[in-house]
Amino acid sequence: MLNETISAISTAYGKGGVAVIRISGDNALEVATRVFKPKAKEIEPRRAYYGEITRDKAIIDDGILTYYKAPNSFTGEDVCEICCHGGIYSTQAVLESVLSSGARLAKAGEFTKRAYINGKLTLSRAEAISNVIDAKTDSQLRLSSSIARGTLSAKVEQIRETIISLISRAYAVIDYPDEDIEDNTYEDMKKSIDSVIAGLDSLKRSYKAGKAVSEGVKTAIIGKPNAGKSSLYNMLLGKELAIVTDIAGTTRDVIENTASIGGVTLCLADTAGIRETNDTVEKIGVTRAIQKIEESELILCVFDYSRKEEAEDIQILDEIKNKNAIGIINKTDTSKCISDDFEKKIKKSFDKVVYISTKDESGLKELSKAISDLYELGNFDLSNDAIVANARQSASVSLALDEALYAKEALSCQMTPDVVCFTLEKALSELNMIDLRDAGEEIVNAIFSRFCVGK
């Protein structure tokens, strides 16, 4: 039953100052007031009431009750929130009291699912709420909070409305086949399709930045032994995690961690220095490093300014051919020993070369900018622009764009209006997938089951 009254602890499990027990459904207020005894006689919506919390008629705690009357609540149903002291045992006791007073325990994501079903949230906003909770970097938080507030949904809605109006105009032409499309109707429709295409195209391009922030970029630090890879890894993470020594072959295992550089979420891997070696363990490390080049979406390729280039440097340039890579010349605090010729060769091999010194931490700003530029983060305001942030949304946008381009062609080739209509309807149904407007129950359930209990 959909409007069964449900309840769960909405704050994190563990000891804390306060905890919140959320109750949602037709009987939310009735259930809450069986447990919570306010000092006031009347409970009005959106006001906080102090009172005592009971179980089996005994007072077990005191706290605050807030009542949100449908539809003005998170779920769109009647909602009560009991705020109690945040002990592990005490919070559980308050929940048990609520459950024995007529509510059942909410499933994972059930509050958000109800918000979605009751039209309080679009799917992309609901997903973004879960990303706000999971955010690990400042840019992830800004982006997911912006999508949760509806920036992406609003843009999608605007494009949808234009397509719907186009379809209705095309139908009008179909319904009166004897009349030719008037010139200004035709021009109007063309303009509208162009605006749909421009909107979809900018959403499609935003995924590069959106993915770099939300899903992260698999990045490997590669170079010959002692170039300063582990020092760079530590500098990017702001912590001494990898062992740094002047002994070639120190790093053998691949060590991985997440860093936010220039707003981009880098899933960073430090690797063994690439060279010929007879050491059994180091050999495995070198094989893994080369494998990492294959698996990674971005390579930070480190060269040593303080030593003349060696065969390994040249081998590495070969390994990263056709890869998305940034050249990094490290140890610029020392006097230059790398040859001018090789420096030129490095500059030719990469779109971007950055000079750094991990010793005096110089060049980090430039490296951050190079990474941010690579993923076009400078083109977007993460807090306010409509940005596509997951693969499912991106696929829908691309398919909708293809259909819109086809509709434009159909219109300019003077194809019959039903072709224009048909392609626009396809564009619309692709776009509807972003917020799963036509989604079946199973897909909706699968998405919300990934949320935590109490959300």
Ligand X SMILES: Nc1nc2c(ncn2[C@@H]2O[C@H](COP(=O)(O)OP(=O)(O)O)[C@@H](O)[C@H]2O)c(=O)[nH]1
Q: Give me the residues that bind ligand X (CB under 6 A), please.
A: 223, 225-231, 244-246, 250-251, 273, 330-331, 333-334, 357-359
Residue 314 sits at the vertex; the CA angle it makes with 313 and 316, to the nearest 5 degrees, is: 65
| Minimum CB distance to Mg ion, residue 250 (Å) | 5
Closer Cβ to Mg ion, 24 or 230, answer by number: 230
> What is d(CA 263, CA 370) in angstroms, rounded to the nearest whole number?
11
223 binds, among Mg ion, ligand X, none (CB under 5 to 8 A by kind): ligand X
Closer Cβ to ligand X, 322 or 335, answer by number: 335
Closer Cβ to ligand X, 78 or 304, answer by number: 304
| Minimum CB distance to ligand X, residue 285 (Å) | 11
Closer Cβ to ligand X, 4 or 312, answer by number: 312
219, 251, 265, 396: which one binds Mg ion (CB under 5 A)? 251
Stretch that binds Mg ion, among 216-224, 243-251, 277-285, 351-359 (CB under 5 A): 243-251
Contacts (CB under 5 A) with Mg ion, residues 147-206 = none
Show the DSSP H helices in 241-305 as ranges: 280-295
| Minimum CB distance to ligand X, residue 454 (Å) | 44
How many residues of this chain bind Mg ion (CB under 5 A)?
Answer: 3
The yes or no reply on residue 358 touching Mg ion (CB under 5 A) is: no
357 binds, among ligand X, Mg ion, none (CB under 5 to 8 A by kind): ligand X
> What is d(CA 282, CA 32) in angstroms, rounded to the nearest whole number?
64
Q: Which two tokens stand for residue 142?
A: 């800004």
The yes or no reply on residue 230 touching Mg ion (CB under 5 A) is: yes
> What is d(CA 101, CA 185) in angstroms, rounded to the nearest whole number?
62
Residue keyed to tokens 């990474």: 371
Helices then strands, counting H and E runs in the chain, come out as 15, 13
> What is d(CA 71, CA 114) in angstroms, rounded to the nearest whole number?
12
Instruction: Give DSSP secondary structure letters for 166-222.
Output: HHHHHHHHHHSTTSPPPHHHHHHHHHHHHHHHHHHHHHHHHHHHHHHHHT-EEEEEE
Closer Cβ to ligand X, 197 or 269, answer by number: 269
| Minimum CB distance to Mg ion, residue 223 (Å) | 9
Question: In 10 A of CB 2, how many CB atoms?
Answer: 10
Closer Cβ to Mg ion, 32 or 227, answer by number: 227
DSSP letter assigned to residue 10: -
Summarize as ranges the residues that interact with Mg ion (CB under 5 A).
229-230, 251
